[in-house]
Each structure stands twice: as structure tokens, then as C-alpha cells.
A and B are shown apart, each in its own frame.
Chain A
Amino acid sequence: MQGAEQKAIQVTDLTVAYQDKPVLWDIDLDVPPGVLLSIVGPNGAGKTTLIKAILGLVRPAAGNVLIYDKPYEAQRGIVGYVPQRGSVDWDFPTNVLDVVMMGRYGALGWIRRPRKKERELAMQALEKVGMEAYTTRQISQLSGGQQQRVFLARALVQDATVYLMDEPFQGVDATTERAIVTLLQELRADGKTVVVVHHDLQTVTDYFDWVMLLNIRRIASGPVDEIFTSDNLRETYGGRVAFMK
């Protein structure tokens, strides 16, 4: 996995502030290609903001981000994004297939409408997440886990090399959690790089091979077995962590 020096994601000296309050302070992060990385930290640690800063959705006060050595604007085509499920209104009048096809909008560009090819890609992605029976279902009638799978399918049709996922395990049932884990491991097996904002400390070692501990500053990042130590966790959570394996 070492091999070339090239980094899938390289974050340097990144600082983001809302008003005058820093939410991310001087972050450095190197993600080698082909790893499954979880970003872990307490509430308000800036996990979502880090994802958004990598995607250029929030403007940093300082620092920069490179995806395979180029700025994000030049690499949009190879990055897939799964926003937090709660960030959209699921009562929006549309169905499952339509949402998944939105993953092709970037490749389609302006004005061109999705056609048969996009429909087929969306169907394949829905099969991968086990939602092929729900194509015409109105999205407000989905359970939380199903909504999450739809968002994952939308990212899959982006056919990206690097995936950024914001809390894909949040509020999903056990079946969906297992399905998502399988999917993440398949993506890694295909050589994709996947960055996941994660909340559940219990499962970090099982699901991921890399981890980043974040609390406004970067506490540590690297392979799970080196980094996921009780000392580092205590530093991240300020001694409030009542967990150890």
C-alpha cells in the first residue's frame, strides 16, 4: 500500500473559522490511496467541516487541499460525496431512482438531461445497495437506513476514485450498517480511497484500517493499530471517554 509517494488527499495547514471562532485549527492530513479512513472526534470537533473544506464547500481562512496533487476544482470528476442524511428535506417530491440519477448530473454538465444510460447506472447502483425494489418509491416513505442507502447509491453512480462520506452510519438499522460496511470494503478492494466521518468508537477497529482523531486540532492520524490508542483517545475526548476494548 506504500509504493508511490502520491497522496489521494493532502490537507496542509488548514484553518477554518466561523465568525471569529476557529472550528478547525492548522490541520495536516495525508491520506494514501486505497485506504478506508475514519474521522473520529467529539461533537463540535469539526469533522463535517473538514469534509466540507476538502470539497471546497466552506472557505478556509488558511491552508490548502489537494486531491491527487491537484486542487479540488480540477478533480471534481473523481470525488464522490455523501452528505449527512439530515441535510436534505426528504419530503421533497421525487422518487428513489431520480435522486440516484442526480449522481450523474456532474458528468452530464449543464442542461443535458439524464437518459437511458444514466438510468441503467442508477439501477446498478441501487442493486449494489440492495434497493432495486424501491426505484419508484417516493423518498419520504423510506426508513432512515433506506435513505442512507439511496445517498450511497447516488455517490456510487458518480464512479469516483475518492469518496467522502459524512456519518453514513448515523441512525441506521443493523442490516443497513452491515450492508454499508460490505460496500466500503468493496470500494477499498477496488482501490478507491474512502473517508468516513464516524461516531461509534466501538467499531473503528473492525471497520477501518486508518483513523484520524480530530478535536479542532488534529490529534493523530495513521493506521488504526498505531493511532487508536487509549492515550490518543483521552487526548481527543479530554479524558471523558469511558471506553476501551
Chain B
Amino acid sequence: MENLSILTHLDYTLMIVAIGAALLGAVSGALGSYAVLRRQSLLGDAISHAALPGIAIAFLLTGSKTPLILVLGAAIAGWLGTLLILSIVRLTRIKYDSALGIVLSTFFGFGLVLHTLIQRTGNANQAGLDTFLFGQAATMLARDVLTIGILGGIALTVMLVFWKELKLLVFDEGFAASIGFPIRTLDILLTSLLVVAIVLGLQAVGAVLMSAMLVAPAVAARQWTDRLRLMVFLAACFGALAGVSGTIISSTASRIPTGPTIVLCATVVVGLSIAFAPNRGLVWDRIRQQRNRRNLKMETSRY
């Protein structure tokens, strides 16, 4: 009987939601690999927080809750926030982490104020904007999944087309510039791809935890391989896995926000990877150490 009830859970709506979560997990996992390798893990956090006022402003301007419009607002705000961070670092003596903190909290605070204002006006339309804080994958419709599929597909295609250039940018920026690749343009391209991945995930995962979807799958994937191609592919798989399992778990009871559940699933993958991955994993490391120690003891005891 138990099994049957789980099976009936796998209805059409849930399937749509799971496909959507898988897609955005894959997109953010793949693109997040670059953020992690560039040591810009927190940039995703700044972008997702900075996107929040964009959603509110888009709603205030249009009065519409069409995801595409809200996502567009989020993208513009997230992108502006990123450019602001990069300009602060370039034009002032403020360091990267401080610039990140300033922009993140200012934009997020502004976004919260706007959301409160919208709620006060009692606009019957407003219910649902909250989902952008912690995510509610259950609100995902077929057309949202289509949006994620198309935009995510474009982002991944761009990533693949400029594979060699992006790899060089991340590994050795100075050398890339010396042979004539415009690193600032490439930097903006890569950041824009991250913005796309983030705003696609806002509805399901929420602004607060979205950056985990960029970082966690990539960190997990890095433990298993020493090849960039495989790392990006694995990160996409881990992201999709976390997306699907998080969505299904959060759908088993009402009022479990999807975002935190997905992120917890991703964290489990990270934990398992750090513990058990060959070469880098802690468990193998310990076993290797013990074996070495035993061998050394045998060697030395001969004398």
C-alpha cells in the first residue's frame, strides 16, 4: 500500500516540477563549476540576493506575475548588482569581499522593503512573490519548465561554444589577455551565464539559497575528477539529482519549502563526495595513510 501511495504522488504536476528542478539543477551545476574554479563562489550569492528587488520592481511596473517578466526583472537587477561589484573593485580601493557584502545586503534590503510595500497594498495579485525568497517548486507550471529549458539550453550552448576561451580565462587570465582574448568581455559573458542560471532557479530554490545550487554540485564533482570536462558534466548530474530529489521530498508534505530541501540534498552529495571520492576523499586518504605507515614500519623494523 505504501508503494502505491508514492506512485500516485508521481502525477503529472509533480513530473513537470521534477523535470524543471532537474533542468535548473543541471544548468546551475555546470555553470557553477566555473564560479567555484575562479574562487568566486560567493558571487552567486550576491547575484541572487541582488535579483530580489528586480522581481518586485518588475511586478510594480507591470502588475503581472508572469514568470518570464519577473525573471527578466531579476536578471536585470542581478546583472546590475554584479557590474556594480566589479566597478567598485576596479574604481575604488574597496576589496572584492567587501564590495560583495555591500552590494548583496543593499540590494537584498531594498528588495525586502519593496516586497513588504507590495504586501501592504493588499494587491490580490501579490500572493506568491514570497516564493522567490525560499522557493516553491510546486508553483512551477509547464511553461516555466519550458522557459528553464530554453534559456538554460542557450546558456549551456554558449558555454560549450566558448569552452576553450572560458577555460583559459579561468586558468590563466594574464596569458589569455597576452594572446589577445578580451578578458573583460569574457568575464562579463561568464558572469551573464551565471546570472541566467541564478534567475532561472529563483522561483524553485529562492534567492536566499540559490548560490548553494551553483557551489555544491561543483564542489562535489571536483572531488571525483581531475578533468574539467568531466567535472562540468558531473556537476550538472549532481545538480539535477539534487533538484529532483529535493522536489519530490518537499512535495510529500505541504508547506515544505523546496529551496532548502533541494539544498540539503545537494549538501548530502557534497558530504558523500568529500568522504568517499577516490584520490581526494577523506576515507581513502585515511586508508592510504595507514597503509603507508604500516609499510614504513615494516621497512624500518628490518634494521
**Which residues of A pack against B, CB within 8 Å?**
19, 52, 55-57, 73, 76, 79, 81, 83, 87-89, 92-95, 99, 102, 105-106, 108, 110-114, 138, 140, 154, 158
Contact of B164 with A by CB under 8 A: yes
Cβ of B168 and Cβ of A105 under 8 Å apart? Answer: yes
Q: Which of B142-150, B175-183, B264-272 contacts A (4 or more CB under 8 A)?
A: B175-183
Cβ of A83 and Cβ of B174 under 8 Å apart? Answer: yes
Q: Give which listed residue, B161, B175, B222, contacts A83 with CB less than 8 A.
A: B175
Q: 8 Å CB contacts to A: which residues of B90-120?
A: 93
Cβ of A110 and Cβ of B171 under 8 Å apart? Answer: no
State whether A102 and B228 are in contact (beta carbons under 8 Å apart), knowing that A57-B178, A92-B37 are contacts in the complex: no
Closest Cβ–Cβ distance, residue B181 to chain A (whole Å):
8
Contacts of A102 in B (CB 8 A): 168, 171-172, 175
Query: CB-defined interface of B146-188 with A at 8 Å, one 1/0 digit per residue?
Result: 0000000000000001111101101110111111110000000
Contact of B22 with A by CB under 8 A: no
Contact of B227 with A by CB under 8 A: yes
Could you list some 23 contacts between A and B, CB below 8 A? A19-B93, A56-B177, A76-B178, A76-B180, A81-B174, A81-B178, A83-B172, A87-B172, A87-B174, A89-B37, A89-B39, A92-B37, A92-B171, A92-B228, A93-B225, A93-B226, A93-B228, A93-B230, A94-B167, A95-B226, A99-B171, A110-B165, A111-B164
Report the nearest B residue to A79, measured CB to CB. B178
Interface-centre pick from B174, B177, B227, B231 (highest chain A CB count, 10 A): B174
Closest Cβ–Cβ distance, residue B165 to chain A (whole Å):
7
Interface-centre pick from B39, B175, B180, B225 (highest chain A CB count, 10 A): B175
In the complex, besides A57-B177, A105-B176, A105-B181, 12 extra interface pairs with C-beta distance below 8 angstroms are A55-B177, A76-B180, A83-B175, A92-B37, A92-B170, A102-B172, A105-B165, A111-B162, A111-B165, A112-B164, A114-B164, A138-B226
State whether A93 and B172 are in contact (beta carbons under 8 Å apart), knowing that A110-B165, A111-B164 are contacts in the complex: no
Q: 8 Å CB contacts to A: which residues of B171-207?
A: 171-172, 174-181
Q: 8 Å CB contacts to A: which residues of B37-58?
A: 37, 39
Closest Cβ–Cβ distance, residue B241 to chain A (whole Å):
20
Contacts across chains A and B counted by CB atoms under 8 Å:
76
Contacts of B171 in A (CB 8 A): 88-89, 92, 94, 99, 102
Cβ of B180 and Cβ of A106 under 8 Å apart? Answer: yes
Cβ of A94 and Cβ of B165 under 8 Å apart? Answer: no
Report the nearest B residue to A113, measured CB to CB. B164
Contacts of A111 in B (CB 8 A): 161-162, 164-165
Closest Cβ–Cβ distance, residue B233 to chain A (whole Å):
12
Closest Cβ–Cβ distance, residue B187 to chain A (whole Å):
14
Q: Give Cα distance in the complex from A88 to B163, angstroms.
A: 19
Interface-centre pick from A87, A92, A113, A138 (highest chain B CB count, 10 A): A92
Contacts of A81 in B (CB 8 A): 174-175, 178-179
Contacts of B164 in A (CB 8 A): 105, 108, 111-114
Q: Give Cα distance in the complex from A218 to B223, angstroms.
A: 48
Q: Give which listed residue, A19, A93, A110, contacts B222 with CB less than 8 A.
A: A93
Contacts of A108 in B (CB 8 A): 164
Interface-centre pick from A87, A106, A140 (highest chain B CB count, 10 A): A106
Q: Give Cα distance in the complex from A56 to B183, angstroms.
A: 12
Interface-centre pick from A76, A88, A93 (highest chain B CB count, 10 A): A93
